[in-house]
C-alpha cells in the first residue's frame, strides 16, 4: 500500500474521528480513571494482534533492549496524555492550534540526528514567530490564568511527544515490528496511568466503570490504536520532513474546526483570541509548506 493512502486514512481516523470522541471523554470528571481504562483497552487490542500473529505465523519476537526502551517511553507517554486530556477539556481548538510544538520538536531532532538540515529555511523561522505571537496574544487575555493553565499542559505533552515522535521514526525506520512495538508502548503507558491513578483522590473507587462509559473508552482506544498503527506504517515508508508537516496541517485544521463548530467553542473566544488562532493557523501552514 502506498504511503499516501495510509496518510489519508490516518487523517480521517486520527484527526477527525478520534478528536470528537476524545473531547467527549476529556470533558468527563474522572479523567485519570478514564486514562487508565483507555490504555488498558489499547493493551488488549495489541494482545489480540499479537495472538493472531502467533497463531497464523507460529512465532514471536524475543524481548530485547529496544523493546524495553519502548516500554519506558510508554510510561513517559502516560504523563503526556495526563496533560493532553486536561488541555483538551479546556479547549480543543486552542489545543489543536498549538499542537504544532511537538511536531516542530520532532523535526528539529530530525535535522540534528537524521541529517535533514538541508530542509531548513527562513519560512520555518517566520512561521514559528507567528505561532509565538499567537501564544503571546493568548497570554495577555483577560482569561490569562485559564490560558496559562492550558499552555502549561500543552508545553508538558509537546515536549514529551516531540521526542517520542522522533523515536517513532527511528524505531519504524530500523524495522521494529508494530505488534511488539504497540504492546510494549501501551503496556508501559498502562503502567504509567496506573501510577497516576494510585495517587488520585478517588483511588478506592477507580476500578468500577459502567457499561456506557466502558464502550465510550473502548471506542476512543480503538481509534487511538488504529491511528498509531497508521502513523507507524507511514513513518516506516516516508521521512519525517514529508509526513510530519502533513500531520501538522491536518491536526491543526481538523481539530480547530471540530472545536469551533462541532463543540461550539467559538462562543467562548474573545476577538483577540480569534485573531491569535488565525495567526497560529497561518504560522502552522507556513511551517508545513516550507519543508
Query: Residue 221's pLDDT is what?
Result: 95
Instruction: List alpha helices for the chain, DSSP H.
Output: 3-12, 18-26, 31-57, 65-90, 92-97, 100-113, 122-139, 144-173, 178-198, 211-237, 240-257, 271-289
Q: How many CA atoms lie within 13 A of 276 on its CB side?
A: 23
Q: What is the mean pLDDT of the chain?
A: 80
What does pTM read for this prediction?
Answer: 0.81
The average pLDDT across 113-128 equals 67
Query: Residue 286's pLDDT is what?
Result: 76
Higher-confidence position of 148 and 230: 230
Contact in structure between 279 and 136 (CB atoms under 8 Å):
no
Spell out the domain ranges in the chain. 3-289
Contact in structure between 244 and 103 (CB atoms under 8 Å):
yes
pLDDT tier at 240 (50, 70, 90 boundaries)? Answer: low
Comparing C-alpha atoms, which of 287, 290, 216 is closest to residue 252?
287
The average pLDDT across 49-74 equals 78
* Angle between helix 65-90 and helix 144-173 axes, rounded to 10 deg: 150
Query: Residue 145's pLDDT is what?
Result: 61
Query: Residue 18's pLDDT is what?
Result: 93
The most confident of the ranges 55-59, 69-73, 122-126, 129-133 is 69-73
The average pLDDT across 106-124 equals 69
The average pLDDT across 41-69 equals 80
- For residue 55, is pLDDT > 80? no
pLDDT tier at 291 (50, 70, 90 boundaries)? Answer: low
Least confident of 2-6, 75-79, 120-124, 186-190: 120-124
The cell numbers describing 11, all together, are 487523517
**What whole-number distance in Å separates Cα of residue 75 and Cα of residue 222?**
19
pLDDT tier at 255 (50, 70, 90 boundaries)? Answer: confident
- For residue 119, is pLDDT > 60? no
pLDDT tens for each residue of 130-155: 766 766 666 555 555 666 788 889 88
The average pLDDT across 27-55 equals 89
Query: Residue 128's pLDDT is what?
Result: 67
pLDDT tier at 120 (50, 70, 90 boundaries)? Answer: low
pLDDT tens for each residue of 147-197: 678 888 988 999 998 888 788 767 765 677 888 888 999 999 999 999 999
- For residue 204, is pLDDT > 70? no
DSSP state of 28: S
Query: Residue 104's pLDDT is what?
Result: 75
pLDDT tens for each residue of 209-229: 788 888 999 999 999 999 989
**What whole-number distance in Å separates Cα of residue 291 and Cα of residue 111?**
11
Higher-confidence position of 228 and 112: 228
The average pLDDT across 265-281 equals 72
Amino acid at each position: 500500500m502506498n504511503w499516501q493512502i495510509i496518510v489519508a486514512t490516518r487523517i480521517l481516523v486520527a484527526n477527525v474521528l478520534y478528536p470528537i470522541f476524545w473531547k467527549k471523554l476529556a470533558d468527563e470528571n474522572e479523567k485519570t480513571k478514564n486514562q487508565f481504562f483507555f490504555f488498558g483497552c489499547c493493551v488488549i487490542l495489541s494482545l489480540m494482534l499479537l495472538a493472531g500473529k502467533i497463531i497464523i505465523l507460529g512465532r514471536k519476537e524475543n524481548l530485547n533492549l529496544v523493546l524495553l526502551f519502548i516500554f519506558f517511553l510508554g510510561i513517559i507517554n502516560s504523563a503526556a496524555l495526563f496533560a493532553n486530556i486536561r488541555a483538551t477539556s479546556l479547549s480543543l481548538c486552542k489545543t489543536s492550534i498549538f499542537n504544532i510544538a511537538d511536531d516542530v520538536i520532532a523535526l528539529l531532532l530530525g535535522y540534528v540526528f537524521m541529517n535533514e538540515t538541508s530542509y531548513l529555511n527562513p519560512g520555518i523561522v517566520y512561521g514559528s514567530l507567528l505561532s509565538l505571537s499567537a501564544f503571546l496574544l493568548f497570554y495577555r487575555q483577560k482569561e490569562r490564568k485559564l490560558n496559562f493553565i492550558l499552555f502549561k499542559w500543552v508545553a508538558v505533552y509537546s515536549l514529551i511527544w516531540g521526542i517520542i515522535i522522533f523515536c517513532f521514526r527511528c524505531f519504524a525506520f530500523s524495522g521494529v515490528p508494530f505488534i511488539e512495538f504497540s504492546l510494549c508502548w501501551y503496556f508501559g503507558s498502562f503502567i504509567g496511568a496506573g501510577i497516576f491513578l494510585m495517587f488520585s483522590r478517588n483511588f478506592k473507587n477507580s476500578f468500577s466503570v459502567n457499561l456506557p462509559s466502558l464502550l465510550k473508552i473502548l471506542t476512543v482506544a480503538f481509534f487511538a490504536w488504529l491511528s498509531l498503527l497508521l502513523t507507524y506504517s507511514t513513518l516506516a515508508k516516508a521521512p519525517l520532513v514529508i509526513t510530519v508537516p502533513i500531520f501538522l496541517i491536518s491536526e491543526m485544521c481538523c481539530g480547530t474546526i471540530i472545536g469551533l463548530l462541532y463543540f461550539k467553542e467559538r462562543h467562548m473566544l474573545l476577538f483577540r483570541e480569534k485573531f491569535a488562532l488565525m495567526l497560529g493557523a497561518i504560522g502552522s501552514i507556513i511551517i508545513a509548506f516550507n519543508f
